[in-house]
């Protein structure tokens, strides 16, 4: 049985926002691991928020952090967590049509509806 649990971690004091998903056995271990991620590397301990996301547990594949650039991870993050690319808003130059998670991305689906005049 897998004892690794999925945790969403974020630096609440950051102006840039952003978060990531890490895998750890406990909240405390996830908190410590968060400080070694890109989104929390400059965070103060008390500014790191750690939230459990059980739906992501099944996506643990031996890595301590989900990787947005990995197709399987991206699909899981979009489907299970509702994540999307950080665009000002989607435009013709975006790579969304080629994204492996495009069919599950609500922002991309909304953009396609707008382009077709669906709203």
pLDDT at 97: 77
Q: Which helix (H) or strand (E) holds 24?
A: strand 19-24
Give per-residue burial for 63-74: e unless 16+ CB within 10 Å, then b: eebbeeeeeebb
pLDDT at 94: 58
pLDDT at 85: 75
* Residue 7 to residues 41, 74, 114, 115, Cα–Cα distance (Å): 16, 16, 34, 36
pLDDT at 108: 77
pLDDT at 116: 72
* Residue 2 to residues 5, 25, 59, 73, 117, Cα–Cα distance (Å): 8, 9, 11, 18, 47
pLDDT tens for the chain, 119 residues: list them.
568 999 999 999 998 888 999 999 999 999 999 999 999 999 999 999 999 999 999 999 999 999 988 999 999 999 998 887 765 544 445 577 788 888 888 777 777 777 776 55
pLDDT at 89: 42
Query: Could you give the 3-state DSSP secondary structure of residue 15?
Result: coil
pLDDT at 12: 95
Give the global pTM.
0.82
What does residue 96 show for φ and ψ, rounded to 5 degrees? -55, -40
Q: Which residue has the tokens 């049509």?
A: 97
Report yes or no: 37 and 65 within 8 Å, Cβ to Cβ.
Answer: yes
């Amino acid at each position: 049985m897998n004892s690794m649990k999925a945790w969403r971690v974020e630096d609440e004091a950051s102006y840039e926002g952003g978060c990531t998903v890490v895998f750890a056995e406990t909240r405390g271990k996830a908190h410590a691991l968060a400080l070694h991620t890109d989104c929390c590397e400059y965070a103060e301990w008390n500014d790191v928020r750690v939230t459990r996301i059980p739906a992501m547990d099944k996506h643990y594949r031996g890595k301590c952090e989900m990787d947005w650039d990995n197709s399987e991870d991206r699909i899981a993050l979009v489907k299970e967590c509702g994540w999307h690319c950080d665009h000002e808003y989607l435009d013709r130059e975006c790579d969304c049509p080629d994204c492996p998670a495009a069919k599950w991305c609500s922002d991309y689906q909304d953009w396609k509806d707008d382009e077709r005049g669906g709203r």
